[in-house]
Structure 1
Amino acid sequence: MAEAEVAPEPPAPPAAPEEATQLAEAPEAAVRHQAEETAVAFPSDEDLMEVEEADMKPEKPDDRLLKVKGLDKQQLCIDLLMVGCVQSYVDFFYITHRKAPPKEGSSEEVKDVVIPEETLIFLKETLEQAETARRLRSYLQCYESYNSLAEFFEKVPDLKSAMYFYQRCADVAAEVDAWESISKANLNLGSCEEQGGNWQSAMQYHEKALEIATSADSLPLQIKAASRLTTVCQVLAEQCEKDGQDVEAAQLYERCLSSAQLSKDAALEGSACHKLGLSKHKTGNYEQAVELQKQYLEICRIHEDRVGESAARAALAQAFEATGDTPEAIKQLENLLSVASEAGELKAQAGACLNLGILYNSRGNHEKSVELLEQHFDLARQIGDRKLIDSARVVLGMVRGNGKLKAYINMVNNDLEKLLKWKSKRATLDS
């Protein structure tokens, strides 16, 4: 009677981190034993013959692997164990057994992500190179291998896996105190968090990158980290403003300014001054607001930024008006009107005309006030904003009415005949 064939055992699960450490330190026999437990079957004699024939021809390692009959994830896992790269085996297993995101409203079973053979080989070989280099204390090659994997997953995009390998880069660099490389890794980790919308975590990574780059006296990295940190802090500050947390927003804008100054980017520094100045104005610190807007104005004038200069003068006018310095506020608004006209900024011109008209009206200069508000009304019509047009019409009508109020009261009290003509024939009050 023929003996019954014994079914092969199912593949074993990936080694846990503790097991991986033990396997890494085990002799070759232990590694081979683990491979035998994991594998369903080694390649057949026919497969090996095909490989030997293929080896006779000059070709790339990738081509050889692709021609192995029945190439799959399991075989590549075995190959990693056979060369003693246990940590790479664990990484490769989990990467290649990721589940595809479920489709909305679908009841189908979630399956593993489908990975092309070329990508499988790239992952396997790069992981093997990284672990082998780390074992041989070849820091640069190990760092570059893990960085290649991180960049690959960032482009996919698979941010979780990308961050996993960027963290590996940081760990490898830390082993040899390569501070610039540690800073780069943290900068990349922060960028991944930005892409995921995790702004608080991104800020922490960029702060660490900036601190290390500054300590290492690496100016290019310092500039890059400071620039990213400025952007992230600004996003967080704007979120605080939306939530009504003005004090917290001001603190974040201060962090924006300090990092922008380290970025050596004048435009970034000017914008940070402007944002912080507006925040200080909102929290009632008008003197600080004035100083910050003056800094912004100076930067804009040096770089001939007419649009920025318009914004700076508008903010300065508001700050001076809040401090009670009306003449200086009027001066800034008149300059704003001139600059905005040169820059073709209709909204800035309209805002300047409106504020100037109101200020002149409060100082009793009725004719100048009406002239400016009429200009404001014309600009509103050019802009085409219906709400702005309606608002401009109302303000102009009120100021015109206030200007004639004294004449109307005098007519009611002293000139009955003129009052009747005004009521019956709509004669003007000045006639």
Structure 2
Amino acid sequence: LVVAGRVWSSTACYERALECAQLGSDEAIEGLASFKLGAARLQDGDLEGALALQQRYLEISQRFADLKGEAAARAELFKIYQRLGDKRAAIEELDILRKVAEDAGELTTAADACLDLAVLTYREDEVEATKLLEGYYQLSRRAADRGRQGSAAVLIGLASGRAMMHHVAKVFEEGRGIYELLKWKDAPLIEGLHDDV
């Protein structure tokens, strides 16, 4: 961004917006600027700076009873805690996020929180993780998101035997997604066909 001949980075713009909002005692703008600056800092790898800014946005969103803002802040806090290696805090944020996002009408955000929770908690409680996958399916259905709904159906099918939950979580942790699961699910069938030839 170029203003009056000066080049501004997005981070510098968010910092300036935050300063102006604080000087003007405008908490609504301060919250939005905190959110944007926090997201930029997270992207730059400044986890502690991002954490403080997202906590401030969460505080402001709660004060204004802004459920969408609270959901956005909690989604960012989850990412920060996960990158910091604080699994317990990440799980706590996700658990609250799925409820707040659903109350805010952010059904895909709530669905994704269920999926992330299932992946993070499967080692402690596979039965609960499978229930979370069912929540992922139901929320995706309510959001009319056929892509997520199809993914959820396959995941529930794989996890319903409980012994598959470990593999399901591993695939998603590695970012390979639903296509890898489908490939893996059909592998024994394909191998069996080759054996018959």
Given candidates 84, 100, 103, the residue that maps to 1:339 is 100
Amino acid at match of 1:267: A
Q: TM-score, normalised by structure 1?
A: 0.35
1:404/1:336 CA distance change after superposition, 3 Å? closer
* Whole-angstrom distance in 2 between the partners of 1:391 and 1:260: 42
Q: CA RMSD in A?
A: 2.8
Please state if 1:389 is matched with 2:149. Answer: yes
Q: 1:376 aligns with which of 136, 147, 155?
A: 136
Residues 260-300 of structure 1: per-residue CA shift (max 9 Å, x gap): 32343211110111111111111111121111110001101
Cross-structure match for 2:47: 286
Residue aligning to 2:59:
298
What CA deviation, in whole Å up to 9, does each residue of 1:102-141 have, x standing for no partner?
A: xxxxxxxxxxxxxxxxxxxxxxxxxxxxxxxxxxxxxxxx
Superposed, which structure 2 residues align to 1:7-18 within 5 Å?
none
1:358 to 119, 126, 132: 119
SS at the partner of 1:403? coil
- The one-letter code of the counterpart of 1:386 is R
Amino acid at match of 2:67: R
Matched letter for residue 117 of structure 2:
L
Aligned counterpart, 1:307: 68
Whole-Å separation in 2 of the counterparts to 1:280 and 1:399: 36
The size of the alignment, in residue pairs, is 167
How far does the alpha carbon of each residue in 1:39-79 deviate from its partner, in whole angstroms, 9 at most, with x for none?
xxxxxxxxxxxxxxxxxxxxxxxxxxxxxxxxxxxxxxxxx
Structural mapping, 1:28-427, within 5 Å: 200-201=2-3, 204=4, 248-361=9-122, 363-400=123-160, 403-404=163-164
Runs of 4+ in 1 over 6 A off after TM superposition: none
Gaps of 5+ in 2: 167-197
Distance 1:358 1:269, change over 3 A: same
Show the counterpart of 2:193: none
Q: Which has the larger radius of gyration?
A: 1
**Alpha-carbon distance in structure 2 between the residues aligned to 1:273 and 1:376:** 30
- Which amino acid letter does the alignment assign opposite residue 134 of structure 2? E
Distance of aligned partners of 1:366 and 1:288 in 2 relative to their CA distance in 1, 3 Å threshold: same
Normalising by structure 2, we get a TM-score of 0.73
Q: Return the structure number with greater helix share.
A: 2
Deviations 1:17-57 (A, max 9, x none): xxxxxxxxxxxxxxxxxxxxxxxxxxxxxxxxxxxxxxxxx
Q: CA deviation at 1:346?
A: 1.3
Residue pair 2:127, 2:162 contacting (<8 A) in 1 also:
no
1:255–1:399 CA distance, 2 compared to 1 (3 A): farther
Q: How many Å apart are 1:403 and its aligned residue? A: 2.5
Q: What displacement does 1:385 show?
A: 1.9
